[in-house]
Amino acid sequence: MKKKAYILSHTHWDREWYQPYESFRFRLVKMLDEILKILLEEGDYRFFNLDGQTVVLEDYLEIKPENSELLKELIKKGKIGIGPWYVQADEFLSDGEAIIRNLLIGKESSQAWGGTQKICYLPDTFGHNSQIPQILRGFSIETALLWRGVSGDDWSWEFLWEGADGSRLFTYRLPERLGYCNSAFTPDGEKVSIEYLKTFIDKVLKRSVTEIAVLMDGCDHKHPNTCIGKIIEMLSLEKPEIEFSQVLLNDFSIEFLRRCKENIEKLRLLKGELREVNRSKDGYFNYILPNVLSSRAKNKRENFDALNWVESYAEPLSVLAFIEGKEYPEGFLKRVWKLILKNLAHDSIGGCSADQVHRDVSSRYARAIEICKNISFDSLAYLSDTNSDTARENAVVIYNPSQFETEGALEIEFDLLSDTLDVKRELILKDEKGKQIPACITNIKKQTKALSYRDGSAPIFEVYSVKALVDCSIQGNGFKTLNISSSEKVPLNHDVKRINTEALANEFLEVRLIEGGKLKITEKSSGKSVITNVFEDTGDNGDGYVYSRPAFDRAFFSNGSLKSVSCEDYGLLGQLLRAEYELLIPCELEAGGKSRSTSLKPLRIVSEVLLKKDSRRVDFRVKVHNGSRNHRLRVYFLSENIGSNAFFYKTPFDIVIRPKKVSDNRISENWIEDQPSVFPNGGVFGEIKEREQFSGYSIATRGIPEFEPVKEGVALTLFRAVGHIGSPYTLSCMTRNAGPAIETAEAQMLGELCFEYAFFFMDTLEQVIKQSSLYSKRPLCISRAGKTPVSPVNFTARYSELTALKKAEKGDGIILRCANLSSNQDNIEITLSPKIEEAWLCSLSEEPLEKLEITDGKIELSCKPKKILTIKLRV
């Protein structure tokens, strides 16, 4: 087996980072113009790898459309390598569907340009989640090349990466030092380059099972170097035992795969997430950078909202309307996904870029959500016959986007035309059978609105926007109609009553305000209790990437800072407790970032706690007025009598369980970066008694992705306020900063912030999946209905989560996707409309694998642990 050295000429293209998108695009156009010129000359520089993401082609061709055919020709000839991704995205701030759509769009655009690369190329991602192997194998990709998240001086660069379900990728880890920049040659330094490369190649091959050295000729935004031919010639003379060649990633992948399979017994096996920090003696800056989870908190919430709108409302409702004969808004939904995916690039969603970048991120999310709202209400109006002559003006249709039947009182919002009801009188709500529904109107506001889902050239209406709690249940992915009228006799007696109490209670839970302004939540049946509303503020001299506590810092807690308490009674439907706190905290950093100032400012926190009828969940809305800089705010959940020995958290298509232990973050003398003590939560996390015993408590979140297990419980990071992309101060958590020390005033998160999360006790994983789904997927309402829609798909399972209901990428099929989040086999039942004629089990890339039987209108199938299933339905 001859030794090989593959030179991968490339650029790593962050579309936006320390400069805004348009500035980097200006540089991109110059760089690609240069590449095209060099490749057309057909000299020694023969191949170029375009960073594994096709979005840069779109960016370039918006400016240089005249080069479209030339680019296509070079890609078809195998001169430029593209794909498989649409963008180089963060893996923990994306959800599972976003990762799959990233590959679907990347595959579609790559094929349109002439071919895609069949390798999972992730050169700069901040750690890797546990389901990447299964997802990539679902696109017939068997190899991966990455850098961060794996370390160790005693191991080969090659290893088998096994995902949560057992799927495996043959993986090549770039050497710690310099990673994807390890051979960034300089045209005028051939002699220096040769001496460096000779040493580097010997070192790499010494630890290689496959006897392959990967030389990464490129770096961030780097232009091509034309000295490649001369360097290859000189190296070949110096080291004739090694075959040197400039190649595309695909060429490397084919030979790498062959050699791995021949030496499979020598490969190290790594399982699950890859989030290990660098411990190598030759270590450098391949940091994990865990606190990108908590910077730019507003962008994180926008990300949650955008993904929720497209996955829970716009796509499913469009599919249901499509089955009933409506055109599917494919172009609009593709635009939504491209807007979202551009934001999921690791520097964009990571919160570690210039202020203008994050303004652009917010703008893209706002546009994506606006499109989704129009699609959702338009589809719901179609399904409800809103524009028919027989539609009832004051009939409200409610859609439940969760796969689970709702429980307890529902929070709903809807609009009623101002001239159709007398809101000075009590509003009466009745279901389709005429039965009165217990309801509490929590807010009515008269305003002018454009109801775009209604027919008419000028859909501007005077409406009453109503918020209410209603006591009704709706089946999973189902609908219910409520008819609203004004009472003729009973004058409106405001439903919301203020009461004097410091405790809330229902059949299952008690929530009591105790000393110091803390809240104690108790489960009545078991006596289990947890303390929360313990807010902690500490200094942060870190940056967009990491939390770094100043050398001389002290924590400020909310104990004793309670200013006022009030409670609103919603009758039999629930109660809301409002607690206001005021902490005096330092204004900013001083002493070169080593401590916080002695001057103090108030940090105002308003915590609204809602306990609804028949609910096992407590919902929190926390509003913060922040006037200080360089600090972190967290809220604790402290378990009193649960005896937790493990914790769990949701990531894309998985629930990860870890033993609860506090370890030394600096476990090696080769310290580069603290091992992360914080973890991502993709919507829910919590504490449990044992690894296989889901008895404990959970916190479900709406776009608050960072938490830390602590000795007494868990701490949820609400936000971090920092002032630079890369910190100018000495960091306590790593050896140096990860980016330029450019000021980012808007990352200080000054002003009003709002956070939403929920708490519940549980005894099973099924309860975790159900409660987190019901919390994240709120009912959607539309007024004026001619009929109650009937859902053509009903999904039932114990451990599996319905993640997608969308139209197939090709043809008129419908894609239903689900994932088994447990370590147990699950039985799934899907009830279908008679309009659905066929069902096929497909790969994640939507290629048919096996025809499924439909018996009595149902599909029954078993799902192996941690498996993602894609089913194509034909109408």
Q: Does residue 284 have a pLDDT over 70?
A: no
Q: Does residue 14 have a pLDDT over 70?
A: yes
Bridge partners, residue 271, by sequence: 162
pLDDT at 190: 65
pLDDT at 278: 84
For residue 663 the two structure tokens come to 């370890």
Distance from the Cα of residue 580 to its chain's centroid? 31
Over residues 147-173, the mean pLDDT reads 94
Distances (CA, A) of 120 to 47, 503, 718: 19, 53, 33
pLDDT at 653: 99
User: What pLDDT band is residue 490 in, cutting at 50, 70 and 90?
Assistant: low
Calpha distance 240→237 (Å, rounded): 6
If asked whether residues 607 and 693 sit together in one domain, one would say: yes
If asked whether residues 135 and 78 sit together in one domain, one would say: yes
Domain finish residue from 286, 311, 334 = 286
For residue 773 the two structure tokens come to 């789904």
- Average pLDDT, whole number, for the chain? 94
Over residues 634-673, the pLDDT tens digits come to 999 999 888 889 999 999 999 999 998 755 555 556 788 9
558-564, Cβ contacts within 8 angstroms, sequence gap of 24 or more: 558/516, 558/517, 558/533, 558/534, 558/583, 558/605, 559/516, 559/517, 559/518, 559/534, 560/516, 560/517, 561/517, 562/516, 562/517
Calpha distance 319→815 (Å, rounded): 9
For residue 825 the two structure tokens come to 């086999």
If asked whether residues 757 and 811 sit together in one domain, one would say: no
Calpha distance 872→875 (Å, rounded): 10
Q: Does residue 453 have a pLDDT over 90?
A: no
pLDDT at 185: 67
Over residues 184-197, the pLDDT tens digits come to 866 555 666 788 89
- What single letter denotes the amino acid at residue 459? P
Calpha distance 829→795 (Å, rounded): 6
pLDDT at 64: 98
Tell me, yes or no, whether 553 lies in a domain: yes
Domain finish residue from 286, 312, 327 = 286
Give Cβ neighbours of residue 373 (< 8 Å, ≥ 6 apart): 309
If asked whether residues 807 and 662 sit together in one domain, one would say: no
Over residues 289-315, the pLDDT tens digits come to 999 999 999 999 999 999 999 999 999
CATH number of the domain where residue 584 is located: 2.70.98.30
Over residues 719-771, the pLDDT tens digits come to 999 999 999 999 999 988 999 999 999 999 999 999 999 999 999 999 999 99
If asked whether residues 836 and 752 sit together in one domain, one would say: no
Residue with the bigger pLDDT between 452 and 622: it is 622
If asked whether residues 770 and 803 sit together in one domain, one would say: no
* 129 exposure class (CB count in 10 Å sphere: 0-12, 13-18, 19+): buried
Vertex 222: Cα angle to 218 and 224 (nearest 5)? 75
Q: What is the DSSP letter of 12?
A: B
608-646 burial, b for 16+ CB within 10 Å, e for fewer? Answer: bbbbbbebbbbbbbbebebebbbbbbbbbbbbeebebeb
Distances (CA, A) of 425 to 483, 487, 489: 16, 6, 8
Over residues 568-587, the mean pLDDT reads 96
Tell me, yes or no, whether 828 lies in a domain: yes
CATH number of the domain where residue 805 is located: 2.60.40.2220
User: What pLDDT band is residue 176 in, cutting at 50, 70 and 90?
Assistant: confident
Classified as helix, coil or strand, 292 is helix
- As a whole-number percent, the residues of the chain with pLDDT over 90 amount to 85
Calpha distance 720→678 (Å, rounded): 13
Tell me, yes or no, whether 781 lies in a domain: no
Q: What is the DSSP string of 353-388?
A: S-HHHHHHHHHHHHHHHHHHHHHHHHHHHHHTTTTS
- What single letter denotes the amino acid at residue 778? R
If asked whether residues 812 and 686 sit together in one domain, one would say: no
Over residues 589-598, the pLDDT tens digits come to 999 999 999 9
Distances (CA, A) of 870 to 456, 521, 816, 844, 856: 40, 40, 6, 6, 21
If asked whether residues 768 and 812 sit together in one domain, one would say: no
Q: Does residue 424 have a pLDDT over 70?
A: yes
Tell me, yes or no, whether 419 lies in a domain: no
Pairing between β-strand 410-417 and β-strand 242-246 as defined by DSSP bridges: unpaired
Calpha distance 832→816 (Å, rounded): 11
Over residues 344-362, the mean pLDDT reads 99
If asked whether residues 551 and 684 sit together in one domain, one would say: yes
Calpha distance 702→811 (Å, rounded): 34
Classified as helix, coil or strand, 593 is coil
Tell me, yes or no, whether 295 lies in a domain: no
pLDDT at 663: 57
**Residue 597: how many other CB atoms lie within 10 Å:** 17
Over residues 801-829, the pLDDT tens digits come to 999 999 999 999 999 999 999 999 999 99
Calpha distance 608→624 (Å, rounded): 11
Tell me, yes or no, whether 822 lies in a domain: yes
For the chain, the straight-line distance linking the first and the last C-alpha, in angstroms and rounded, comes to 54
Q: How many helices (H) and strands (E) does the chain have?
A: 14, 46
Domain carrying residue 212: 3-286
Residue with the bigger pLDDT between 345 and 692: it is 345
Distance from the Cα of residue 186 to its chain's centroid? 38
Q: Does residue 488 have a pLDDT over 80?
A: no
Distances (CA, A) of 202 to 3, 89, 440: 11, 33, 74
Tell me, yes or no, whether 382 lies in a domain: no
If asked whether residues 58 and 158 sit together in one domain, one would say: yes
Domain finish residue from 286, 301, 316 = 286
Q: Does residue 525 have a pLDDT over 70?
A: yes
If asked whether residues 836 and 761 sit together in one domain, one would say: no
* 311 exposure class (CB count in 10 Å sphere: 0-12, 13-18, 19+): buried
CATH number of the domain where residue 88 is located: 3.20.110.10
Over residues 80-92, the mean pLDDT reads 98
Tell me, yes or no, whether 464 lies in a domain: no
If asked whether residues 200 and 83 sit together in one domain, one would say: yes
Q: What domain count does the chain have?
A: 3
Q: What is the DSSP letter of 747?
A: G
Calpha distance 398→376 (Å, rounded): 12
